[in-house]
Structure 1
């Protein structure tokens, strides 16, 4: 299939108020701010958004709020991960009904499936999907590394819009491009290899860091997209320090939320049992961001 959805897709955190409930006004306001930097898409209800801690009603409310806040200015992708194909299909149908443009799915989290079993389950979901689908290769959480030849078996469903690649393998983006051709988009999903992925022909970047630093992430992508590699490398040399501090921290969701809150964009806490980032990590990241902004 051919689909024009490319570029930087920011991954929202879910803001909570003092009572632990979703604060959708804060979420909508941040969507507006992020899209104002030129970011092309929003990918909600992934791990960064604490999707597994949300009820079905909260999922619906969040999707509707993001779609409304975007107002047609960006593509909205919804994480539809679940343990069974039937649950995934239900999530996708709901996402379509609530205004999403595409869905993201993975093999079952912690399922430990062999690739052939995993792709068979995904094939079933995608054959019946009313939305274009991004397949998220997340070996860390699913226990399954979907190689390019495995992902190619999903192309005949007609729904394979893209792959979000986070294995960290140095040449994987290039290998996916060679196997899948130009009809399937390939997104970098690991912030630490964003520039390397762009140099191998990635279609864009699914970035939790773009929720915190949207302008810098968007500018990095634009430089690479337009072949301005000297400018991209210069920006990357400063930005990569901040991205590493986020990506390498087990409490990265809390770290993003606390950083936003300290910068006047209140996000509240993470929901238990997710860990809370320590003060030293937070101060270190904020100092790095300040230095980055002053350098730019």
Structure 2
């Protein structure tokens, strides 16, 4: 069993541990604040994430201009300074995805998290992936219109530069079949649980061989995220389940709650851009109480 050959494949892509998906801070004028993004990433790096995924879903990828996207990636690469791999979000319209991929490559990013093209899935999706993966190593994000079957996943895994698949659908049966099919031909292929607040579902994903996951909680409570990674299962009923219930109250809270949490922990990252809405005062109070109880639970 061998990996698909690729001159673009990143060397020593160690993504073990909690994966950090920083928010994108906006100021009162609504513009990206570079210093705050750098500080947010610095604070996260102090807790030893396995990688930084900038300008992705939690970073409001769909709300950023190409210039802002490129700026965010440069800041992440400069701040990480080689300590951990840096991945950038890319995707959507083909031309925009190529521009994002090239800007990320020029900034020194290690790879890309490839978001789905808008409402599109068809025979040409492999060509879309192939063109982007020619720029930097790619992790394909399966969600929305992208719902792969095992045969298609194997086809995509054979594309030079494609190194992984992140699942945002939550279909465990589908993912089990994909994992088994792909690992027959790619032992080195990476699989990720990409559901919001993935810790709640991670036991199920771990059971089918998917150990890597993205942690929104790491953005605002890395102590809690690391405690869960180290085996503190008390956090599932006491912290993560109530957090998921809170998140489900308003569409878009998967991002808005994270930005509120970052602010509650001392870094004002501003609110989200439309069409997302800020967290209501009532829900922010619930979040604050949850963070306090979670931190108390994992305190030494």
Question: TM over 0.5: same fold?
Answer: yes
Bigger proportion of residues as helix: 1
Matched, 1:119 2:121: no
Q: Distance in 2 between matches of 1:9 and 1:61?
A: 21
User: Which secondary structure state, in structure 1, belongs to the residue aligned with residue 141 of structure 2?
Assistant: strand
TM-score (norm 1): 0.86
TM-score (norm 2): 0.85
Q: Which residue of 1 aligns with 2:6?
A: none
Question: Residues 177-208 of structure 1: CA distance to partner in whole angstroms, max 9, x if unpaired?
Answer: 21211221001101241232123222411222
Quick one: which of 26, 44, 47 aligns to 1:34? 44
Question: Does the aligned pair in 2 maintain the 1:107–1:121 contact within 8 Å?
Answer: no
- Tell me by how many angstroms 1:82 deviates: 2.0
Query: 1:199–1:213: structure 2 CA closer, same or farther, 3 Å change rule?
Result: farther
User: Which secondary structure state, in structure 2, belongs to the residue aligned with residue 164 of structure 1?
Assistant: strand
User: Which secondary structure state, in structure 1, belongs to the residue aligned with residue 239 of structure 2?
Assistant: helix
Q: Which residue of 2 aligns with 1:97?
A: 106
Q: How many residues align structurally?
A: 280
Quick one: which of 65, 73, 83 aligns to 1:73? 83
Alignment of 1:142-291 (within 5 A): 143-181=145-183, 182-190=187-195, 191=198, 192-221=200-229, 223=230, 231-245=231-245, 247-248=247-248, 249-252=250-253, 253-291=255-293
List alignment gaps of at least 5 residues for structure 1.
Answer: 224-230
Q: Distance in 1 between matches of 2:40 and 2:135?
A: 28
Question: Does the aligned pair in 2 maintain the 1:134–1:161 contact within 8 Å?
Answer: yes
Question: Residues 54-80 of structure 1: CA distance to partner in whole angstroms, max 9, x if unpaired?
Answer: 222211211111111111111111011
Runs in 1 of length 4+ with deviation above 6 angstroms?
none
Q: Which residue of 2 aligns with 1:228?
A: none
Q: Distance in 2 between matches of 1:247 and 1:120?
A: 36
- Tell me by how many angstroms 1:242 deviates: 4.9
- Tell me by how many angstroms 1:292 deviates: 1.3
User: Which secondary structure state, in structure 1, belongs to the residue aligned with residue 126 of structure 2?
Assistant: helix
User: Which secondary structure state, in structure 1, belongs to the residue aligned with residue 258 of structure 2?
Assistant: helix
Quick one: which of 33, 56, 60 aligns to 2:66? 56
Question: Residues 258-277 of structure 1: CA distance to partner in whole angstroms, max 9, x if unpaired?
Answer: 22212211111212232222
- Tell me by how many angstroms 1:220 deviates: 2.5
List alignment gaps of at least 5 residues for structure 2.
Answer: 4-8
Q: RMSD over aligned Cα, in angstroms?
A: 2.1
Query: 1:242–1:264: structure 2 CA closer, same or farther, 3 Å change rule?
Result: farther
Q: Distance in 2 between matches of 1:162 and 1:178?
A: 14
